[in-house]
Amino acid sequence: MVKKGVVKKVIFYAVAGFMAVMSIALALVYTYQDKIIGLFVSEANKHIRTKVDVGQISLSLFDKFPHVAVSLDQVNVHEGLPESEESLARADKLYFTFSVLDVLRGTYSVKEFYMEQGEVYVKVLPDGTVNYEVLATDTSSSEEEGFSFDLEKISLNDVDVHYIDQQLKQTYSVAAHQLVAALAITPETIEIEASGNTTIHTIKIGTGEYFKGKKVDLTTALTIDRAAQGIRLQPSLVQVEGAAYEVGGAIDYTGTTTLDLKVEGKNTNIQSLLSLLPQEITKEFRQYRSEGELYFTGSVKGKASGRETPLIDISFGARDASFYHPDVQQRVEKINLKGSFTNGGKQNASTSTLKLEELSGVLNGRPFKGNLTYRNFDNPNIAFDVQGMLDVGYILGLAKLEQVRKGSGLADVRIAFAGNLNEFKAHPGNSTLSTTGDITLHNVSLTMQDLPLPLRNLSGNFMFKRNDVAVSDFKGKWGESDFVINGMFKNMMAWLLLDRQRLLVEADFRSRYLNFDQLLSEEQNTAEADRTGKGDSYKFVISPNIAFDLSASIDRLRFRRFRGKEVRGAVKLRNQVLSSPNISFKAIGGDFAVRGSLNAQTRDHIKLSTAAKLTNMSVDSLFYVFENFHQDFIEERHLRGQLTADIVSDVFLNSQLDPKTNLLQAEIDATVRNGQLINFAPMQKMSAFVKRSELANMRFAELHNSFWIQQRTIYIPEMDIRSNISAAPTVSVAGTHTFDQQMDYKIKLPLFGSRRPDKDAVFGMVAEDAGAGNSSLFLTLKGNEKDFKIAYDNERVRQKVKTDLKEEGRELKDLLRGKKPKSEEKEVELAEDEYFDFD
């Protein structure tokens, strides 16, 4: 048994020996520091022929223990181009190491090189000049100098390497986190074994960008044959995104670089395969993941230069694989396919072809199959076909489309597409596409980003023929509204695939119910609007890229208080102008027919021009539907009767459908039959002459007149109202009524048989004249709906007196000639500016 004392002695002597050796080594390093640094600088100057800036040079025993290291701080190596001040390399630290025994022997052989926290910039200029030729060709050294570079190992820690070839238009940017290369150098060959982990910032070849942001683990072995100017690359392993690629072959650089490489994928997945393609092609799919067996093999053969590209042939495929997005549960399962890519006979984009053949899979338990060919990447020709009963919600969840928030239902898809995209863009109307097949929807629902109201219960068949789509029995619901469409959607493919293309719809449109409160509401996506279907603000915009010819049949229609039934007519839309030769419907107890146009070319200045005919509409319902025309002077509770009218109007609206009343113009030829004026305040003011009970319900058999509206004013020509009022069976009215409820009416009221005021009333004289039985009273009504006055119309009396004098003169002449005089209507003259103000 070993005693504790012996163990302590062993440990003590070991530590003491180590400390002694370290002390000797430190003493030697310190003693020979200046000499070693001087020898290093002298030898380095023989190898490097460009300018090198160094912040500090020191000798360290501990930085790379157990080796002695010459340490260079803040190093800047200038590139090997005449008169250039740019850097070939920058580093916080460079270390050149040799053994402690070299210090004792006095000969120093640098075996390892370390570069930490730095950047390397390698360039090939357009004329082929390079910036990295900084090493001297003659590096012989005399033995007595005792310092040499015999590198066997290079280590890079946190070093960014940038390679820019302006001849080939290629850029490589790699971050070497920890990369170690072992070297075996002979006069004939250089053998390199390297391993480490890196991040590829980018690899740009032409306009394509590859491997962007990918972490790559590298294990490689290669031999550089100096005499033959060739590289033999042993099967090397490159790991990307968890997948491994084995690369091997030869590179000949005697003249133009010639490649003969083979690549084989091992444990590949969708991420690693997408890493091999340009970013602009894969950016929409970079978040997707895959499981199962994916295979990949390829070859690169031929010359690589600024003018020449090698032939690239790649084969890939999948067997019983799955494809999914990590944020959703949907998967494409049991995927089988064969794929290939080649850059073709000319080894460029114009002869490149991508193929996916015998593609099959399962979506939510439903199988599908298809093929895809993409030829000529400069001027793409695309051909694909797909067939299967697809779950719409499942596909939308997998595709993660921003325009469609969610969906459900099934789509039976059997479609084939072929054509040249650039020719289609240049001449979309020339049938450059070949599109055949059809899609049938089964109870599909969609919630769109730009259409807050959901589309529900969609069904119908869409048959594709070139650029057009025939629609058969396409039906569904949009909010509370429903529709059925049969017809042709012309230029449909161009409208879907290209910008600013017009869609022309020629179809029959049927609906049981349309709720324009919802369809036009600006707040239709709020909870309250969804519940009530109402909104105080509307948004009306017509796309310039949609045109249609519709034969419309709508059973019921709603907008605010308006309710229409049996709507029939033809509607045309061209260049944001909606027009119709005739639309008829039933509403407000009668019939309505209209022709006209709606011009929405200026978004906030919509012009509605119509010629309408109203037949037997209820006047009180009309006032209710149009919300008493936004006044409370005369309301639906004051009116009864049946209205028949012809109306020609120009109405101007903003995009919220608010009328610009100052621009409104209209001509109205109206007849009201079986009319009633009930408890109308101005009529109550006439109680001095007519019984209040009769004024409370003034009846008339028929009223006819023509009106016109301009500059927010309604102009009413003089009209006779033959009523049930015993004291005034005929009342004449004329005047104006503004949209601000300013009234200026002229009223002529006959006084024969009228009610006699009290003897002491200020208008007692009227009763006396009224006794003649044929006198008239001329009145004015002026003011607003809340503050109006009825007064004597002096101007009309004076005009009447003049007219009567002329008439009396004419009658006197007739009397002298023996003609019998006509009965005379006497006018009652009151004191000027007298007002009636009876209760």
> Does any domain span residue 11?
yes
Q: Is residue 817 part of a domain?
A: yes
By residue range, what is the domain housing residue 831? 680-839
Q: Is 102 helix (H, G, I), strand (E, B) or coil?
A: helix
Helical spans, DSSP H, in 783-835: 794-816
Q: What is the pLDDT of residue 677?
A: 75
DSSP state of 724: S
Measured between alpha carbons, how far is 576 from 573 in angstroms, rounded to an integer? 6
Dihedral angle computed from the Cα positions of residues 35, 36, 41 and 42, in that order, rounded to the nearest 10 degrees: 70
Backbone phi, psi, residue 62, to 5°:
-100, -25
DSSP 460: E
Q: What is the pLDDT of residue 573?
A: 95
pLDDT for 476: 96
User: Can you give the pLDDT at residue 736?
Assistant: 87
Q: Cα(194)–Cα(220) distance, rounded to whole angstroms?
A: 5
Q: By the 8 A CB rule, do 444 and 459 touch?
A: yes
Residue 127 lies in a domain: yes
CA dist 112 and 98 (Å) reads 7
Provide block-wise average pLDDT over 10 residues at a time, the chain (839 residues): 56 52 55 72 80 87 80 90 87 87 76 91 85 66 62 89 83 90 79 88 74 83 84 86 83 84 81 64 66 86 81 90 75 90 87 92 91 90 93 80 84 92 77 87 89 88 93 94 95 84 94 91 52 60 91 92 90 94 89 92 90 86 68 68 86 85 85 78 62 68 82 84 66 82 81 45 35 65 80 73 65 62 48 43
Residue 646 lies in a domain: no
- Residue 703 domain-assigned? yes
Q: Does any domain span residue 403?
A: no
pLDDT at 760: 37
> Is 467 part of any domain?
no
Which pLDDT score is estimated for 755? 47
SS3 content of the chain, % helix, strand, coil (to 5): 20, 55, 25
pLDDT at 829: 44
Question: What's the confidence (pLDDT) of residue 830?
Answer: 43
Which SS3 state, helix, strand or coil, does residue 79 take? coil
In this prediction, residue 452 carries a pLDDT of 72
Cβ–Cβ under 8 Å, residues 472 and 463: yes
Cα end-to-end distance, the chain, whole Å:
134
Alpha-carbon torsion, ordered 630, 636, 640, 644, to 10 deg: 30
Cα–Cα distance, 679 to 154 (Å, whole number): 107
Is 0.85 surpassed by the pTM of this model?
A: no
Contact by Cβ (8 Å): 55, 75: yes
Per-position DSSP letters for 217-253, written without gaps between them: EEEEEEEEETTTTEEEEEEEEEEETTEEEEEEEEEE-
DSSP-assigned letter for residue 149: E
CA 231/CA 189 separation, integer angstroms: 10
Q: Are strands 108-124 and 147-165 parallel, antiparallel or unpaired?
A: parallel
Number of structural domains found in the chain: 2
- The residue among 373, 304, 381, 306 whose CA lies nearest residue 350 is 381
In a domain, 754, yes or no: yes
Rounded CA separation 781/836 (Å): 10
Examine residue 452 and say whether the peptide bond preceding it is cis (omega within 30 degrees of 0). Answer: no
